[in-house]
Structure formats: C-alpha cells, structure tokens
C-alpha cells in the first residue's frame, strides 16, 4: 500500500478495505541498554488495531504496555531500541524507519495524549502557545492561527476557549489540563491516537467526562485509539478489544467483555479479581475468614458430637466480618484487648468527632482586595473506634481540608474536633505533641512523602527519635518488626526510596505511620497513585493491620470503588458540604442524593459483570 503524501496525512482517513489493519505489531521485541547489560523490556508482543477501533493495553507498571506504545510513535528513550519484530502502520513497516519519516508521521498520522499533564505541559508557556506550536510543527497553523487554536481547544470541551488559550497550565484544573493535552493530541487530525493513562489522576466523574468527550471526538474524526491503562474495568468499558501484558509479553487478547467475564490466563484472572471497580464486597482479614470457616464448621457439626471445632480463639468480630448485613462497627472485638489501644477503650465508642467544622480561606484579588472562599462548610460526622470512615468527593469538595484540620495542620474557622473527648484546637505544647503520636497520616504520593536522602531505616526510625522512644538498639528492633508487619524484608532498611517501587514505598509510609502505635491513621488518597494489583495489596494490608491492631481509619478518596472494599461508613462531600452520610452498604444499595448516584455511575466497569 502506498504511503500518504505529507499534505494528505492531516485530513480525515481515506476509504480503505475494512479488513486492512491501521496498526499491526508483530513479534515485537524492545531492548534497553543498561550498565548491567541489555534488558529485554518487551518480547514477542503482538496487537492489531483496525481503523476507528479502540484497543486497550492493560497491565501493571513495568509490564511493557507504555513501552510498546512509545515504540509505535518513535519515542523510545535513547537507550531503547526495537530489537526484533515489525510495527506496520497503514501498510508501512516503521519499526526501524528514519527519524525524518517518524517526524512526518508524528502528530499528522499518529497523535498522543500523555499521562501527567503537569509534567507534559510547559509551565512557562501559555496553553494557546503550546497548541500553536503543535500546529506549526505540522504545517497547519496558517494565517489565522489564533482562531484555529481556539477551535481546537473548543473541540476538546474547554469553555471560553479564546480566553483559556491565554492562561498558563497552573491556572487550569486537572480535568482542564487533560483536555488541553487531548486538544494537542488531536489538533492535526491523526488517524491513530495513543492515550497513555489519560485519566489516571482524575476524579471518577471528571474521568468519565474526559473519556466521553474523547470518544465523541475520535468517533467524529474516525480516529483509532490505543488506550494504555492499568484499570481493567475502565479498559473493558471503553475498548472493543483488550490486550493484557505481563512482564513484557502479551498473555491474553480478545474482545473486551469476553476477557472480563471469562479470563483465561492466571494474571488476567488476578487483574479481574483485584480491580476495585469490579469489587462487590468489603475486604475480610485472614483472621476473619478463618473464624468464619470455623463458625460454619461448628454449625455443620451435630450438637451431640463428641468433638467440635476449636473456636477458642474466635471472637464475635472474627465471625462478624463476612456477612454484609452485620455492621462492621459491631463486628470489632473490645479495643482494650488489642495492642496499641488506650486502657479502658471500648469498640464502637466514638474516638473522633467533627462538629460543625468550617474553613474559610482568603483569596487575593485585584488592587489588594480579597474575598472569602468557604472550602469546608458546617461539616459534622463521628468515627467509631476500630472502624473505617471514608470521606468521598471530587477534587475541591473539601475532603482533604477536613483531613488537614483533623491532623491539626490547619486551624478551623469555626467548629470543633474532638479526639477521645478532648478538643483538638485547644491542645498546645506537650498535649499537642502527644496527640500527634496518636494520630498519624499516610499521604497520597509515595514518591513525595519519603525523604530521598534518608534510607528506609532512618525514615521509619525518625518518629521514634523525635518522640524519644527507646535507645538505638531497641529502635532497630522496632524498625525490623514494622517492616515485617508491612511484609517487607529487613534488608530493605539499607535501601533508599528511589530503589523501591511505588507499592513498596507506600508500605514504608504505612510502617512509618505505625511506628508510634497510633489510635487513628488518616489516609489521604493513600492508594490512588498505585496500580490495581499493588492497590489491592495495600488495601489488604491496611485491612489486616486494622484487625490485628484495632486501628481506626479516616480514609480520604475520590474513588467509591475503593470505598466499597475498605470502609464501614461513608460521608459524601460536595462543594464543602456533607450531602450524604450512611453505612457503606446503604450508600451503595440505596443512595439518597443525585450526586452520590453520579459518583456510583461513574465507577468504570461497575455494571459490566451484572
């Protein structure tokens, strides 16, 4: 098949045979040269994309999905190369095409929407200038470049596009920045768009808006889409075909719903089972599972039997975790019997109470004037000891501001925060120091929350030193115990954060939070930056630790699918106010507010298995 001339590649796709693939990857191998020798990142990969079709590649970090896509657009790092196989685009093998030919194809024929808008948009260039640069690079700016820039931004769903073109990336929300990247990716009307985790950092409702708009645009333009994601539910909902990659190899491919409903490869089965968007019940600890099995065995044993299963170690909490009809708060053992709880504490009593909490920020305006912005407006809820309360809402709903006030990192404008019956706002000196020991945070970004200059031992030991707990020998023993609690080898002590994966870093952050034997841990988007399998591991770990140590969690998240797995109670926030509060089962089975229903409907793949 002949190549398109350069001036023709920017136009909508010409008619072609229905059975001719737009992109075909055959037996692809990609090798990276490292100081330790060559590393094969991708081996024998294969996929086919027809014109106008959406194909999704799914897999965890390091599976080779992004590397495969980057090879198709000639953007491999300088130490990477296609070492075998073919990449056939529109009948032409471009696996080892010249740089000049790749540049001709890039933008005009193959567009890309990268993952992180903040690192892929130049912070010192206005949005309009960055769109214009793309058009100029492909000879499409023309005499009316401002009008064309505004048209492209408007097509991507940005309101008042001409004015938005004059703004900088930091003046956009996350969703708006992602729309700007989509505008740049589709500005030259490519025949294939590579979307690499285009919405992984966005709220589910914003994610849905972005993907719906991307669907509309690509349908109107007849553009095929190669979607890269670690979310199997999202992939199955948006793509006709799925390609599952594991350790650089394609392990399964086929129609999306067929793979979702009947996965064949063990790795695909793990992805389906771990995907929070497809989960339908709260996690159980292993202790709870064992106790439930013992209870069932006891029920199955005749009452006059000589022997009965040994259930001496089982508690009402152990048996009470499984049935969803039993409230989790009532399913906890007496807190006084658990390591790390304060003397006399009882399960079910309120440990954290928020009353009429309000936070007003002063926003600087023109000519020195300022205006009030109410980020949190009259919020009230309580958290029973030993349970998990989830605060859910979109970005800007005020949930993280509530968390910062609960940690006493922000002073409330009005209202009160009671911890174990004591007003937090009045704490000073030693009393505040003791409060910080009992309430610990786990933050969203495992890359930013650990000091890169501290090794893991020093990272975990630091709170023990600050609070003058033990001597060097006892602190080392404690660090080893904490690493064991979060299923990390003791040898990790001598490593640095940059030597660990995202999931391992988050385990270290959890170990650090546990170092002072806290009563409450506040998790602010603690798993939102993790791959689905790593996310499942961390959620299971948090659940096991709660069961073993009697911990109370305040879990801040925008993802209701994660809430279903980890929380006992849910508080839904919108624009600074609480719009709904109930048990997790009640919120999912019978949401009272339209906003809550919208959040539920936006969960990717939530209804695909129904």
pLDDT at 14 over 50: no
- Based on the fold, state whether residues 183 and 123 are members of the same structural domain: yes
In the predicted model, what is the mean pLDDT of residues 69-80? 91
Question: Hey, CA dihedral for 557, 560, 561, 567, is it positive or negative?
Answer: positive
Region for 421 from its dihedrals, namely left if φ exceeds 0, alpha if ψ lies in -120 to 50, beta otherwise: left
Q: What is the pLDDT of residue 335?
A: 36
573 lies in some domain? yes
- Based on the fold, state whether residues 172 and 313 are members of the same structural domain: no
- Based on the fold, state whether residues 143 and 204 are members of the same structural domain: no
- Based on the fold, state whether residues 205 and 243 are members of the same structural domain: yes
Contact indicator for 175, 205 with CB cutoff of 8 Å: no
14 lies in some domain? no
pLDDT at 231 over 90: no
Q: What average pLDDT is seen over the chain?
A: 82
* CATH code for the domain of 481: 3.40.50.300
Of the three residues 189, 217, 238, the one that is the final residue of a domain is 189
- Based on the fold, state whether residues 402 and 504 are members of the same structural domain: yes
217 lies in some domain? yes
- Based on the fold, state whether residues 124 and 200 are members of the same structural domain: no
Q: What is the pLDDT of residue 513?
A: 93
How many domains does the chain fold into? 4
pLDDT at 415 over 70: yes
Q: For 4-18, 90-104, 208-222, 561-575, which range has the lowest pLDDT when averaged over its residues?
A: 4-18
Q: What is the pLDDT of residue 8?
A: 38
608 lies in some domain? no
2 lies in some domain? no
Can you tell me whether residue 598 is helix, strand or coil? helix
Of the three residues 229, 253, 274, the one that is the final residue of a domain is 274
Of the three residues 170, 189, 208, the one that is the final residue of a domain is 189
Q: What is the pLDDT of residue 502?
A: 73
313 lies in some domain? yes
Q: What is the pLDDT of residue 158?
A: 82
pLDDT at 212 over 90: no
- Based on the fold, state whether residues 543 and 413 are members of the same structural domain: yes
pLDDT at 538 over 70: yes
- Based on the fold, state whether residues 326 and 451 are members of the same structural domain: no
Binned at pLDDT 50, 70 and 90, residue 482 comes out as very high
- Based on the fold, state whether residues 223 and 95 are members of the same structural domain: yes
pLDDT at 133 over 60: yes
Q: What is the pLDDT of residue 203?
A: 74
321 lies in some domain? yes
Domain of 36? 23-109+192-274
Percent of the chain with pLDDT over 70: 83
Most confident of 1-15, 127-141, 357-371: 127-141
12 lies in some domain? no
- Based on the fold, state whether residues 424 and 312 are members of the same structural domain: no
Closest of 148, 114, 115, 116 to residue 131, by C-alpha: 148
Q: CA 322, CA 325: separation in Å to the nearest integer?
A: 9
- Based on the fold, state whether residues 168 and 249 are members of the same structural domain: no
Q: What is the pLDDT of residue 338?
A: 31
Helices 266-274 and 532-549, axial angle in degrees (round to 10) = 60
pLDDT at 608 over 80: no
- Based on the fold, state whether residues 173 and 105 are members of the same structural domain: no
């Amino acid at each position: 098949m002949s190549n398109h001339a350069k001036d023709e590649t920017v136009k909508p796709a010409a008619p072609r045979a229905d059975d001719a693939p737009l992109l075909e990857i055959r037996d692809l191998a990609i090798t990276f040269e490292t100081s330790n020798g060559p590393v094969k990142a991708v081996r024998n990969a294969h996929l086919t994309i027809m014109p106008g079709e959406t194909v999704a590649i799914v897999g965890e970090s390091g599976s080779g999905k992004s590397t495969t896509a980057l090879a198709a657009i000639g953007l491999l790092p300088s130490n990477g190369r296609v070492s075998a196989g073919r990449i056939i685009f529109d009948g032409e093998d471009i696996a080892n095409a010249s740089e000049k030919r790749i540049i001709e194809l890039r933008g005009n024929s193959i567009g890309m929407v990268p993952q992180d808008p903040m690192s892929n948009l130049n912070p010192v260039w206005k949005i309009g200038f960055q769109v214009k640069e793309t058009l100029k690079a492909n000879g499409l700016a023309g005499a009316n470049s401002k009008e064309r820039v505004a048209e492209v931004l408007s097509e991507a769903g940005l309101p008042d596009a001409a004015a938005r073109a004059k703004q900088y990336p930091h003046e956009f929300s996350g969703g708006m920045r992602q729309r700007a990247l989509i505008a740049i990716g589709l500005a030259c009307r490519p025949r294939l768009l590579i979307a690499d985790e285009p919405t992984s950092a966005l709220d589910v409702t914003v994610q849905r808006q972005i993907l719906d708009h991307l669907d509309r645009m690509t349908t109107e333009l007849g553009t095929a889409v190669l979607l890269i994601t670690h979310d199997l539910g999202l992939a199955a909902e948006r793509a006709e075909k799925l390609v599952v990659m594991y350790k650089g190899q394609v392990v399964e491919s086929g129609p999306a719903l067929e793979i979702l409903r009947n996965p064949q490869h063990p790795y695909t089965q793990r992805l389906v089972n771990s995907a929070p968007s497809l989960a339908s019940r709260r996690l159980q600890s292993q202790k709870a599972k064992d106790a439930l099995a013992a209870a069932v065995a006891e029920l199955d044993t005749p009452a006059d039997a000589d022997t009965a299963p040994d259930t001496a170690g089982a508690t009402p909490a152990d048996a009470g975790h499984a049935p969803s009809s039993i409230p989790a708060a009532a399913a906890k053992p007496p807190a006084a019997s658990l390591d790390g709880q304060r003397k006399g504490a009882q399960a079910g009593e309120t440990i954290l109470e928020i009353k009429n909490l309000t936070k007003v920020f002063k926003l600087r305006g023109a000519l020195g004037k300022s205006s009030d912005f109410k980020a949190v407006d009259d919020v009230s809820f309580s958290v029973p000891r030993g349970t998990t309360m989830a605060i859910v809402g979109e970005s800007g709903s005020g949930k993280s501001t509530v968390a910062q006030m609960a940690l006493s990192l922000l002073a409330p404008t009005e209202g009160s925060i009671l911890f174990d019956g004591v007003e937090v706002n009045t704490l000073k000196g030693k009393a505040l120091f003791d409060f910080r020991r009992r309430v610990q945070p786990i933050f969203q970004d495992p890359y930013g929350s650990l000091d890169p200059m501290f090794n893991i031992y020093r990272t975990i030991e630091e709170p023990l030193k600050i609070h003058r707990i033990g001597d060097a020998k006892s602190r080392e023993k404690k660090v080893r115990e904490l690493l064991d609690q979060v299923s990390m080898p003791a040898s990790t002590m001598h490593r640095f954060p940059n030597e660990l994966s995202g999931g391992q870093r988050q385990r270290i952050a959890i170990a650090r939070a546990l170092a002072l034997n806290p009563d409450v841990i506040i998790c602010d988007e603690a798993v939102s930056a993790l791959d689905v399998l790593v996310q499942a591991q961390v959620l299971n770990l948090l659940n096991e630790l709660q069961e073993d140590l009697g911990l109370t969690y305040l879990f801040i998240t925008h993802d209701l699918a994660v809430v279903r797995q980890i929380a006992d109670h849910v508080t839904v926030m919108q624009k600074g106010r609480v719009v709904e509060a109930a048990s997790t089962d009640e919120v999912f089975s019978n949401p009272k507010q339209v906003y809550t229903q919208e959040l539920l409907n936006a969960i990717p793949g939530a209804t695909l298995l129904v």
